[in-house]
Amino acid sequence: MNSYTVISYWWCNVEHYEKWIITYFTSEHTQKTYLSALHKFHDKYGYVSSPDELLDAITEWIHFLRSERYTPKTINNYVTAVLSYYRDQGITIPEDTWRRIRRRILPPSKPSTFDKAGTHDEWKRILSHMSLEGRSLFLFLLSSGCRIGEALQLKVSDLDLEADPPRAYIRPEYTKGGYGGRVVFYTYEARDAIAEWLKLRLILNKRAPKRYYIPKHGKYGYYTEKDDNRVWPISVSTAQTILWEALKRAGLDKRDPRTGRRLIHIHSTRKFFRSNCGLPDALTHALMGHEGYLDRSYLRQNVERAGEEYKQIAIPRLTIFEKTTADKMEILKLIAKALGVNEERLDTVLEEHRGQGFYDIATAIGNLIKEEISKSAKKKEYAIVDEDELQFYLLNGWDLAKVLNDGRFLMVRA
């Protein structure tokens, strides 16, 4: 039996809806969701042959899914799968009838789980419990805003680790819906982790056995490295497992009390990016690959300008293993105040530079500190005195600045 005969035999023996899914949907996630929905529906109700049968079955199924505590989003996805399949078979529910059902018994397709983006400190704890492979992947996701499905399709050739800031090209075929390719940026710490991971992968591939023995056939088989040029040659489920294990070890495996779902999950990386990047809305949405924003932002027209803005504003905010921008800003303000910078003047400078990058603001505060130090130096008096004069100077408002090598004392008075 040749390979063509095997494929033909398999194709003739799969369920009709499986053929329909394989034929009309390219997204792996959509295929899995629709296959699960149609399996469950047909196991319970069998195939239907008229609009009335479909109406009765789908109405009962919605009540059943709600009673089983399926999430609203899952219920809507499952119902959409079934209706789409039967619509293509020429069986449809009248629009006005379906409108009433949708309004009365179908829950709104909104997330039902309270989730969170995670803080810098929480992600630092989580990433510390990951291997180099997982840490490089999640640092990339947190700082680029990419979807997990996009990241796991990236080839080594799609990365530009030498650019400043580092960037990756998300090809149209990697994206949700198969269109809207774009450039994304990521932090220097993500770049360094990826570079180390690629070095390790090369070593591991060299050490991996090239063949294995098959006792049943009395011969050797040879390993084939599928997608061996991908940066992270793993599946979405493996990436989820990496995160879940790290959450447990970090003591952050908290769940929504109502749904039992984890509060921090893979999609939290996109939420973290959106909450912390500090970029203009249009650029943020464009980097995340949201439809309708790519053409409206300057990401497509001027990648260098977008990269410069990302470098100045987003990198300090998205870096995990260093001080956050907020922390750094507070430290700078405390230093400035300690050195005598007038608080009112400090607030004025911060207001003037609002919306600019961290380095611009830090430079402005640094200039204030320099001015204050310069003024203080001009106002101070210095004197070098012998030991028998020391008491007199101390009693008259002078401070001891330093003991000199010859035994005399450097005194200073503001």
Average of per-residue pLDDT values in the chain: 81
> What's the mean pLDDT in 92-96?
89
Judge contact between 214 and 220, C-beta under 8 A: yes
DSSP secondary structure, 239-267, as one string: HHHHHHHHHHHHT---B-TTT--BSS-TT
Using DSSP's 3-state secondary structure scheme, residue 412 falls into strand
Cβ 174 vs Cβ 153: under 8 Å: yes
Q: In this predicted structure, what is the pLDDT of residue 133?
A: 93
Q: Give the mean model confidence (pLDDT) for residues 331-360.
A: 74
- Maximum mean pLDDT: which of 6-15, 19-28, 133-142, 224-233: 133-142
Q: Give the pLDDT confidence of 375-408 residue by residue, as tens digits.
A: 665 667 888 888 888 888 888 888 888 888 777 8
Q: How confident is the model at residue 3 (pLDDT cuts 50, 70, 90)?
A: very low
User: Between 79 and 111, whose confidence is greater?
Assistant: 79
pLDDT of res. 166: 94
Q: How many alpha carbons fall within 13 Å on the CB side of residue 334?
A: 6
Residue 206: predicted pLDDT:
60
Cβ neighbours of 126 (radius 10 Å) = 24
- Provide Rg for the chain, Cα atoms: 31
Tokens 């769940």 found at = 255
Which of the four pLDDT bands, split at 50, 70 and 90, describes residue 9? very low
Tokens of 249: 């070890």
Nearest to 356 by CA among 391, 392, 316: 316
How sure is the predictor about 173, in pLDDT bands with cuts at 50, 70 and 90? confident
pLDDT digits over 297-316, tens only? 667 668 888 899 999 889 98
User: Looking at the predicted structure, is the pLDDT value of residue 160 above 90?
Assistant: yes
Per-residue DSSP letter, 289: T
Contacts 24+ apart (CB under 8 A), 179-184: 180/289, 180/291, 180/294, 182/286, 182/287, 182/289, 182/294, 182/299, 182/300, 183/299, 183/303, 183/306, 184/144, 184/145, 184/146, 184/287
Task: Kindly report the number of other CB atoms within 10 A of residue 172's CB atom.
Answer: 11
| Cβ pair 105, 221 in contact under 8 A | no
DSSP letters spanning 74-90: HHHHHHHHHHHHHHHTT
**Closest by Cα among 323, 274, 328, 3 to 146:** 274
pLDDT per position as a tens digit, 100-133? 888 888 887 665 556 688 888 899 999 999 999 9
* pLDDT for residue 112: 53
Share of the chain above pLDDT 90, in %: 27
* Residue-level pLDDT at 110: 64
With CA atoms as reference, report the closest residue to 275 among 134, 115, 408, 153.
115
Report which of residues 358 and 305 the model is more confident about.
305
Please give the residue that has the higher pLDDT: either 171 or 220.
171
The residue written with tokens 């047909």 in the block is: 42
For residue 243, name the pLDDT band (cuts at 50, 70, 90): very high
Q: State residue 115's pLDDT score.
A: 67
At 8 the pLDDT is 45
User: Average pLDDT in the 243-267 region?
Assistant: 83
pLDDT for 263 equals 83
Q: Comparing C-alpha atoms, which of 116, 138, 109 is closest to residue 33? A: 109
Tell me the average pLDDT across 233-247. 91
317: left (phi over 0), alpha (psi -120 to 50) or beta: alpha
What pLDDT shows up at residue 2?
A: 45
Residue 7, pLDDT > 50, answer: no
Distance (Å, whole) CA 29 – CA 41: 18
Highest mean pLDDT among 143-152, 280-289, 358-367, 379-388: 143-152
pLDDT computed for residue 12 by the predictor: 47
The confidence score (pLDDT) of residue 239 equals 92
Residue 337 has pLDDT above 80, yes or no: no
DSSP-derived secondary structure letter, 23: H
53/351: higher pLDDT: 53
Average of per-residue pLDDT across 283-297: 77
Among residues 232, 151, 138, the alpha carbon closest in space to that of 184 is found at: 151
Mean predicted confidence (pLDDT) in 200-215: 64
Do the beta carbons of residue 265 and residue 115 sit within 8 Å?
yes
Phi, psi of 183 (to 5 degrees): -95, 140
Query: In the prediction, which pLDDT does 10 show?
Result: 36
Residue 179 makes CB contacts below 8 A (sequence gap 6+) with 172
